[in-house]
Amino acid sequence: NEAPVITIDGPAGSGKGTISQHVAKKLSWHILDSGALYRLVAYAALDKGCSFGDHDALADIARNLDVSFLPQQGGVLKVVLEGTDVSQSIRSESAGEAASKVAAVISVREALLERQRAFAEPPGLVADGRDMGTVVFPNATLKIYLTASAEVRAQRRLKQLKDHGLNATLAGLVSDIQERDARDMNREHSPLRPAADAHTVDTSNLSIDEVVSKVIGLYENR
């Protein structure tokens, strides 16, 4: 595939989603929110009453996921699962937690691999997730790894959840984030870690614009 790809990986709340949207908009490229796919598998599994221990059933759900991502005003994607708008429901902290559980299942990851690669269409793709640079797009044009302190990430998550009309407390979010990081970093398959050739950017003290400029600058001067 000829399309250039910028991968943006990092832990929960590092700013991946926001930065990816801005970078994709600046370049007029496509976007892949890979976390949404794992959230959708978890959501569909819960909806169908499928146990997270039933790996074959989970992989089946992942393979047959009937989902469309529809661009909305402001660059936000509307996520439609089997005809139902689930954009809000998959954003909850519990959906994130559930996603990180199904994401540890190797057959689920394998089932989603080609689906993710198919997003790499001209003029280019910004792919956000945990293993975009390490596993899904190992030959990406530019690889970014975003980090930020757990405290800063929890603050951002709190704001994000409030913007979506969802409730949470800062203390609860800090511990949720630490728990999710530990699960994502210590799992056997595709653990969260920077690719060897990734540029690490600590976003704790940077504005959105500063991070976006940095990424665009790295792309232009690669």
Q: Which of 174, 184, 198, 212 binds ligand C5P (CB under 6 A)?
A: 184
| Stretch of 35-43, 53-61, 78-86, 117-125 lying at the interface with ligand C5P (CB under 6 A) | 35-43
**CB 183 to ligand C5P: min, Å:** 7
Q: What are the distances in angstroms from CA 37 to CA 12, 32, 33, 163, 209? A: 15, 9, 7, 21, 27
Output helix, strand, coil percentages for the chain, rounded to the nearest 5. Answer: 50, 15, 35
Binding string, 82-121, against ligand C5P, x = CB under 6 A?
A: --------------x--xx--x------------------
**CB 37 to ligand C5P: min, Å:** 7
What the block records as the tokens of 86 is 């689930």
**CB 137 to ligand C5P: min, Å:** 10
Q: Which of 39, 143, 156, 157 binds ligand C5P (CB under 6 A)?
A: 39
Q: Does 34 bind ligand C5P (CB under 6 A)?
A: yes
* AA letter at 200: T
Size of the site for ligand C5P (CB under 6 A): 15
On whether 143 is known to bind a ligand per the annotation, the reply is no
**CB 99 to ligand C5P: min, Å:** 4
Rounded-to-integer distance, Cα 82 and Cα 157, Å: 27
With beta carbons less than 8 A apart as the criterion, state whether 81 and 67 touch.
yes
Rounded-to-integer distance, Cα 59 and Cα 213, Å: 38
On whether 53 is known to bind a ligand per the annotation, the reply is no
What 3-state class would DSSP assign to 65? coil
Q: What's the DSSP call for residue 90?
A: G
Annotated binding site: 10-18
